[in-house]
Chains A and B, each alone.
Chain A
Amino acid sequence: MTANGWFQIGLYLFVIFLVTKPLGVFMTRVFNREKTFLDPILRPVEKLVYRLSGIDEKREMRWTEYAVAMLLFSGVTMALLYLIERTQKWLPFNPQKLGNLEPGLAFGTAASFTTNTNWQAYSGESTMSYFTQMAGLAYHNFVSAAVGIVLSIVVIRGIARKETDKLGNFWVDTTRCLLWVLLPVCLVGSLILVSEGVVENFKPYTTVDLIQPYTTQVTGPDGKTTTQTVTQQVIAQGPVASQEVIKEFGTNGGGFFNANSAHPFENPTPFSNFFEMVLIFAIPSGLTYTLGWMTGSQRHGWAVWAAMAVLFFAGVTTAYWAEAKGNRLLAGTDQGASGLHSGGNMEGKEVRFGIVNSALFSTVTTDASCGAVNGIHDSFTPLGGMVPLINIMLGEVVFGGVGAGLYGIFVFVVLAVFIAGLMVGRTPEYLGKKIESHDVKMAMLAVLILTFTILVFSAIAVVKPYGTSSITNPGPHGLSQILYAYTSSTGNNGSAFAGLNVNTMWYNTTTAVAQLLGRFFMIIPIMAVAGNLAKKKIVPESAGTFPVTGGLFAGLLASTIVIVGALTFFPALSLGPILEHLLMNAGKAF
């Protein structure tokens, strides 16, 4: 670990701190329909959209109607993506003449992009046409992010409003989110990325001569190994920048290329790397300010932010420490950081990012439910790889996915307020709303769905041949691979531990089911709580009210998240990464 490394982590958190307020205020104004500087351009567009689709922008919905609208929207657009994937051969913008997708893969991918997971059991450059990438995948990157954001706004409204059952209009919120929040930033952001060297074109792939040909061993169909000299390489291209920016800003994570943000055309420079990481946390962090602003308790917003920041810092410190320490089994090699190399465990990492930016990126992408990667988590040390795994297991509430992070941490806020709130001798209250049995029931249901989906699918996979046959490393590492796959799917993260061969019938189907459960079955109970809270009166604050501001609350919230997560997953983790770490220290690697 180096001073430069710590400085980069500190700088990153500081920049996130800086963008929180402006973005939070801007989103508040957008969703409260207050004036913004973009109104002269966007307001006419918005009105046109409503006129064309026959939407009454003044009409608000109850939570049930909102939820049905959201499910219908997601269902129809998911079917549309499936259709595009299955017919891309006959659709335009397919210079590589890529064929139609298999039904299993097409379904899995459609579920994955609709749920903001972006789990990819395929290589983008060899599977998806430019049309599918743009009209299918990038489209979902926008709308699934918008859905997440508007749902968190619904939760905030549920807390802030009183004695009403109206929580806003799904179509209006989504339209405004797309027009005001996502599109403008992505327009500017993609230009910044292009300036750094990210490509944006419709060209067919280019074959180039290598400056430095190399030889490689190739196993032929007859089983014989021959030595070949490679002199040419196919350079995949496409409309990358436009998709790259929403991949991070909407915490989607689905790479244009298989190598994701490790690919030089997606993430060419240290600056683009930093910029992409900032994009990932920007909205989730800003939403904590929106929460404070809309509920009239700015200090509560910051307390939630602080709880997230503490957990983020703990995660990145562990990952950085584990990766920088390197592997004890390679004691003979120089693993210390120096001016010439970054030291530590460099397996599966990009040289241009080094240890700290790989550890930081992996923490950021799994704290948020992004899933973009700039290194292979499978190649991290056992403890370094456990950090992304735990981050997702905690429910991705450390800043979290766009919207999903906020409504996810809302569940923990409800639980923390309920348990500890009793200890001040009153019926627990959250910002003036009494937390009662219905709210606790729904919050527990959300936690249960997460736990159930991860543990049950993993438990089946580890004892059935169709599950274990995909494992590439035996022992505890194999368990980590399977756990990671279902954790990432259920948490709608989409990053892969890699290593596990997931393009099989079993994994395509079960991960898709896990993604759908983890997205929609989480959302519905949370919306039910929001709907129930909105109906309640607001109890005025007094000296006897449970304080949801300040360090004590931030600490309580962070501990609740860690304890619930740790108690649920400790047994599984102890047989996976923890055991692997101990065995590695004892001299056994997998």
Chain B
Amino acid sequence: MPPDRVTNVKIAGVGGMGVLTSTRILAEVFFRRGLDVKKAEVHGMSQRGGSVCSDVRFGPKVFSPMIPAAGTDFLVLFQDDQEPIYAADCSPATIVLRASALDLSKLKNKRALNTAMIGMLSREFAGVPESEWLAVIRDIFPEKLREANIEAFALGRHHA
């Protein structure tokens, strides 16, 4: 992927699964790397248990906060059944990461699935050291949720 290109990540789940928190972690990691970053989120009515997705885009210069049609590089699905909704956002080149790839029985805190998915996504960016992801996770979560999310991140990052 050429270095002047914008990377497009779409994170999708349903209301209450922590899509917004994952979006924040992902955007923050690349913000701290000095890149231009934009994100687009859904708040309000659509959050009430309905389908929710966020776009995160980063690169040397980003204009639209939303990913253009078929422009998604990574589709991160907290729930596999959400995939068809995003067909028009994806292309054959899109890499799809599904929650079903994880052994969820190993996830101690079920509410940390979102951070496990960030762990899975983190492997796609070989040049970003694990420590940078962990630093953001430590900063974002309050103390009592910190360990559970670090564990969930590790589960996603190191899954088979």
A binds B: no
B residues apposed to A, CB below 8 Å: none
